[in-house]
Structure 1
Amino acid sequence: MYHHWIPRNFWHIWFGNLDHFWIILVLNEVGIQPPLCEMWGRILPIIWNQIRSILGLVIQNAKYQSYLDLCDKIVESLCSKRKEQLLLRSIAGGECSVLENDNINDELDLRIASVLQSTGHHYEGGFWTDFGKDDLSDKKRNVAIVTTASLPWMTGTAVNPLFRAAYLAKTEQQNVTLLVPWLCKSDQELVYPNVTFCSPEEQENYMRNWLEERVGFKADFKISFYPGKFSKERRSIIPAGDTSQFIPSKDADIAILEEPEHLNWYHHGKRWTDKFNHVVGVVHTNYLEYIKREKNGALQAFFVKHINNWVTRAYCDKVLRLSAATQDLPKSVICNVHGVNPKFLQIGEKVATDREQGQQAFSKGAYFLGKMVWAKGYRELIDLLAKHKNDLDGFKLDVFGNGEDAYEVQSAAKRLDLNLNFQKGRDHADDSLHGYKVFINPSISDVLCTATAEALAMGKFVICADHPSNEFFRSFPNCLTYKTSEDFVARVKEALANDPQPLTPEQRYNLSWEAATQRFIEYSELNRILNNNKDDAKSSRNDGKIIRKSFSVPNLSEVVDGGLAFAHYCFTGNEFLRLCTGAIPGTRDYDKQHCRDLHLLPPQVENPIYGW
């Protein structure tokens, strides 16, 4: 029997549905002999039926809420005691007994806790959103941002969620937690450039220092870690175990899933929309475009497209696509909810000031910056320059980047005798890049290129393809788009022959994280959630007291979404099916190294499975 589908609160179920089976089970577990179990199992239901009608009246009273809260505290206390005992046993290698305490009351507590855990009292969901979520109308809201990468990996899903957390926390309207993956030492050496961390605290300090140097203020938000493993084939981090369990239930209010499809491909745990009141997905990556470039790409892309639709519908209430370059997902709208590092806007302001004073702002020509993999625009760049080598005679391009395809890219450029000067990757805000006037980005695989926004913020010309991923940038006068390779040549010559226009205050604001945060709150429907919450608070007041919200009947769409989530749970619970679809072996649960690094209980203790 799968314990997660037994309702969350054991005590609520006992009061509402006491029957012969449960009585025998509990009495037997606490040590009463089978003959007495059978006798009491038949007597107690008769007595219970007589008082059940009286209990129904008590339930309607608002004071019953305090009784339920007391029961919840008792349950948590018992289970906490049992977990401590189990942890001691696991540390000692199983040499100490869980029931080594001679006190009969402690023994009884531990036996009851064992029964409570076997009923899956922590589960909060079903085929639709349950009514058991807490009323948060009088509390400060809690926002959990969950992402698929973390610094010092300089990728969009590590940098942008970090800024989002800082600027959401800056509003002081909600408590913010950023949940990022923790990699074991062996994986860190593959992902992070020349740096590793011995503990999550050490990595957290690195992230906070990096952030504060760029935003200029101390961001008041929490950073937590979940277990992850690096996939060399996919060049990405895959969660290990149930990621949702690393946000405590008391803080489970609003969830922001950065890359919801990525986070949920192999998610085997609680349904996000059951645990949280509102779940927003932010789509960062055009996975289909990357997959199409691989062997049998069209077939793989077909399956991934439908899997993405499946998991985003099952686990999100709202999905934000940064641009139309991504696939059309259920419950989605298009909006750029990313901003640029304030440092780039400061560089742009300095450039404008220098030009007003008659100083030369740009002393260098054109450059390209990006991770050196073919899919990041290097294929398009080499093809354009090779085709128009004669038209762009004398044109020199400096290229900054590191990556898995660096050798192949440089070899192709050398073979075609292209005038490209390759240099190691560096931060886009590095002083050595301030003097360039033109940023060239021919990539058509990006969803929304952060480097393009940064170049515009610094007051440079940007030459990019006429593509949905660049739609947000077209309104900026310094953004020069091209449709054909001939247009590309014309745009390069135009940019080299002219000076870019200074940004207006409105244009600078549109590029900022302050504006991006306001767009996020609007398009994610957080405004509606907060306003509805206030209305519910007023309507739910009775004589100055807040009462629990009533159960709402699910509609057909919610039932279907719940069924999809349940089917996905069953699918991802099978190790053979996981491996067939490309999962990293052993990622259904986290491993012993994760337990040591993050001070976690073993998975079999944290998530016990019982059967009858």
Structure 2
Amino acid sequence: MITTRTPKNRLSITTDDHASYAEKNTDETFSPLAKISSWLSFSSFSTEAGHWSRASFSDEFTDEELLMSETIPTAISNLRDSSRPIWIVTTAALPWFTGTAVNPLLRAAYLLKHRQEEKRVGSISQAGPVHLVIPWLESSDDRAALYGDDWRHATPETQTDYIRDWIDSSAHLPSIAHELNIHYYPARYHAALSSIFAMGDIFELLESKAESCDSNSQKKRAVCILEEPEHLNYFRAPSSSCSYDSFYTIGIVHTNYKYYAEQHVTGLFSAPIVEAVSAGLVCAYCDQVIKLSDVLQEYAKHKEVVCNVHGIRNEFLECAPPDGNRIYFLGKLLWAKGLDQLLYLEECYKHSKGEYFPMDIFGSGPEGDEIETAYKGTRNALLSSLSTSSGSISTMTDNSEFRTSGAPKSCNNSETKDSAKMPTYWASLQRRRLLGCPLPVQFLGRTDHASIGTEYKIFVNPSISEVLCTTTAEALAMGKFVILPEHPSNEFFKSFPNALFYSNAAEFVQQLSKARSTEPEPLSQNLRHLLSWEAATERLFESAAVSEREASRRERLFEKEDRKLAMIHYKLGKGRSGDVIRKFLGGGPVANQVQYQMERQVSVTSMA
């Protein structure tokens, strides 16, 4: 007999409740809008149920489950088994040097390196393959827009050669460069969302590639790591109702899409939709979810962990320590990266110290011209306009200690809190009115962080839109001071003595003054290792593992709901109505997925 240990005040949620939502989505006569409404209702309901279940059912194990191990991972979740094939699927690729291109590439390279070393010392006789699956932009215009005109006539082979050369010359992994398996899926660039999306069913493509690439002797279930699982499935049209059942699927969440939606003029409407859809997709298609930091929303609390599974290239750890005193920022030129806050902090520093602090800004981006204009703007309208941007200033200044001596009147807490309610759209209009009186700031364009010289000692990174900032880790590895806001996205860096944190403008001034007048501490060997990809790979193994007891509990309590989400996604996405829904949700050039698949089938048939 199976007995269940249940809290007295548990929320009563039955599978019949979920089934009622799923049944609505099986009706082919349902309109696209009705389907969207049903999906959002079910995904929100299911996610909340999962959250409640995690909190309320923490001790709810059957007698049989209590006899299972709570420390030994299941064989299927054990990534330390180096004989299993690993497929890493991501949403971007070099030569686009964005985090979702570089980090998955390095993850794949270091997983392969780990397996090579195990084979070399005799721990294993045969290492399983590591595959990297990346987007191929079919449109020459897309390639030119994202990679430059030189890529207009490029081929997948050209891109593969470029990536292998980068692994060899920049990551300094020559033995990996030509052994890593690189595959492509067809994709298009969505300029309005500054993102790449797959065309066709990426899961079906992945399954067929796994069938042809992995040998019959590798019968153990393969591992699939979805980098940005919600992004990979946003506009996907599933060709069947099954999920990634052929794999043990790990989702690594990189980007705070809910935050970006909140900053848009339609944020009140779009942010809850993005939150619900993201949670539903992650629940549906991932066996284990890894969030890089706790700044992210909850997706599937019954199967998610928070862990930094990123590392940095070894060349950053080998840089000479700084010998100058210069200050810099490096990143994509977007207001959301904290550049509005940086303007605000410049003003407060001047009111405290009598002068602005000089700095250099490295990077490029779609808002670069507007940002450079604002940094050459007047000071009199600056504070009121910046306090309206992104709402993030209010979190920094909502503190009585913020009122430093001589601080400008508009630093007043109540005024900031009121003005922070204004949409970012109006803030951008105010920024454009700023003219003249430049700050002592130089815009030096995009550069590789490793090429930043030793004359730079202080990296100022005020961004709170990041999930986990790789450039912060790189600067710390190079022995520089990094000045950061107190924020969940920066929690990983709390153990580094050269990471200087501030919670308001007064503390920022104090930390910058300290950094300018003292020298950074040398990194200890433990902290150097903590930043490395070897340590990140070990953290990935630990985060992916699920105990036998927990796996049994998840299957019993949550698997049916998660599978129903996959079924609903299939019902919503199929047919012409699916293309209509994707277009309504902002799919733009990637909305017509079903039409694209039909045209490809006709093309293949005619060629045959």
Query: Which residue in the other structure is 1:419 paired with?
Result: 440
Structure 1 contact 278–317 (Cα < 8 Å) conserved: yes
8 Å contact from structure 2 (residues 280, 299) kept in 1: no
Check the 8 A contact 2:324/2:454 in 1, yes or no.
no
Q: Which residue of 2 aligns with 1:576?
A: 580
> C-alpha displacement at 1:419, in angstroms?
2.0
Q: Is the 8 A contact 1:259 1:283 kept in 2?
A: yes
Instruction: State whether structure 2 residue 130 is matched by structure 1 residue 176.
Output: yes
- 1:255-305 per-residue CA deviation (whole Å, 9 max, x = no partner) reads 100001111112222567444331000011111111111112122111110
Q: Is 2:323–2:457's contact at 8 Å kept on the other side of the alignment?
A: yes
Q: 2:181 aligns with which of 182, 205, 222?
A: 222
Candidates 439, 446, 451, aligned match of 2:459: 439
Query: How far off is 1:446 after superposition?
Result: 0.3
- In structure 2, what is the Cα distance between the partners aligned to 1:336 and 1:141? 23
Q: What is residue 366 of structure 1 aligned with on the other side?
A: 327
Matching residue's letter, 1:483:
S
Match in the other structure for 2:144: 189
1:388 counterpart SS class: helix
Q: Kindly report which structure 2 residues correspond to 1:546-585, keeping only aligned pairs within 5 A, or say none.
A: 555=556, 557-573=558-574, 574-585=578-589
**Contact 1:477–1:501 (CA under 8 A) maintained in structure 2:** yes
Q: Work out which of the residue numbers 124, 141, 144 in structure 1 matches 2:87.
A: 144
Partner residue of 2:314 out of 342, 355, 358: 342
Structure 1 residues 589 and 213: alpha-carbon distance in aligned structure 2, compared to 1, 3 A threshold: same
| Change in CA separation of 1:394 and 1:309 when aligned onto 2, cut-off 3 Å | closer
Tell me, yes or no, if the aligned pair for 1:272 and 1:315 is still in contact at 8 Å. Answer: no
In structure 1, the residue matched to 2:342 is: 381
Partner of 2:106: 163
CA RMSD in angstroms, aligned pairs only: 3.0
Query: 2:532 and 2:569 mapped to 1: Cα distance?
Result: 38
Residue among 479, 482, 499 paired with 2:519: 499
User: What's the counterpart of residue 203 of structure 1?
Assistant: 159
1:332: Cα distance to partner? 1.1
1:403 aligned onto 2:403: no
2:200 paired with 1:241: yes
AA at the equivalent of 2:367:
D
- The 8 Å contact of residues 152 and 193 in structure 1, kept in 2 or not, is answered as no
SS of equivalent residue, structure 1 residue 171? helix
1:485 to 2:505 alignment? yes
Q: Secondary structure at the match of 2:376?
A: helix
- The amino acid of 1:375's aligned partner reads A
Distance (Å, rounded) in 1 between the aligned partners of 2:590 and 2:470: 34
Change (3 A) 1:178 1:588: farther
Shift of 1:181: 0.4
**Contact 1:238–1:263 (CA under 8 A) maintained in structure 2:** yes
SS at match of 2:352: coil
**Where does structure 1 lack aligned partners over 5 or more consecutive residues?**
6-132, 352-360, 534-552, 596-600
Residues 223/377 of structure 1: CA separation in 2 closer, same or farther (3 Å cut) = same
Aligned residues: 437
The amino acid across from 1:175 in the alignment is: P
Normalised to the residue count of structure 1, the TM-score between the two structures is: 0.67
Return the letter of the residue paired with 1:499: E
Deviations 1:566-607 (A, max 9, x none): 111121221111100111345554988x99xxxxx9235779
Distance 1:272 1:155, change over 3 A: farther
Q: How far is 1:138 from its partner?
A: 11
Q: Distance in 2 between matches of 1:578 and 1:503?
A: 49
Q: Bigger relative contact order, structure 1 or 2, given CA contacts below 8 A and separation 6+? A: 2
Q: Which amino acid aligns with 2:358?
A: K
Secondary structure at the residue paired with 1:469? helix
| Alignment partners' CA distance in 2, 1:161 and 1:171 | 15
Deviation per CA, 1:127-153: give whole Å up to 9, x if none.
Answer: xxxxxx9xx999931110000000011
Report the more deviating stretch, 580-589 or 223-232: 580-589
> Distance between the aligned counterparts of 1:203 and 1:513, measured in 2?
24
Per-residue Cα deviation, 1:494-541 (whole angstroms, up to 9, x for no partner): 000000000011100000000000000110118x69x999xxxxxxxx
Q: Which amino acid is 2:128 matched to?
A: Q
Separation of aligned partners in 2, 1:208 and 1:246: 23
Q: Do the aligned residues in 1 keep the contact of 2:85 with 2:130 (CA within 8 Å)?
A: yes
Matched residue, 2:96: 153
Q: For residues 87-133 of structure 1, what are the alpha-carbon distances to aligned partners after superposition, in whole Å with 9 as ceiling and x for unaligned?
A: xxxxxxxxxxxxxxxxxxxxxxxxxxxxxxxxxxxxxxxxxxxxxx9
Residues of 2 paired with 1:174 and 1:514: CA distance?
Answer: 18
Q: 1:532 to 1:571 in 2, by over 3 A?
A: closer
Alpha-carbon distance change, 449 to 194 in structure 1, aligned in 2, over 3 angstroms: farther
SS in 1 for 2:252: strand
The aligned residue for residue 490 of structure 2 is 470
Conserved 8 A contact 2:89-2:227: yes
Sort the Cα spacing of 1:482 and 1:555 in 2 relative to 1 into closer, same or farther, 3 A.
Answer: same
Distance 1:586 1:402 in 2: 26
Counterpart code for 1:338:
H
1:308 aligns with 278
Q: Name the residue aligned to 1:263.
A: 232
Which one-letter code corresponds to 1:560 in the other structure?
Answer: E
Specify the alignment match of 1:102 in structure 2: none
Q: What secondary structure, in the 3-state scheme, does the structure 1 residue paired with 2:318 have?
A: helix
Residue 142 of structure 1 aligns with an amino acid whose one-letter code is P
Identity of aligned residues (%): 39
* 1:377–1:441 Cα contact (<8 Å) kept: yes
| Equivalent position SS for 2:169 | helix
Aligned-partner SS, 1:158: helix
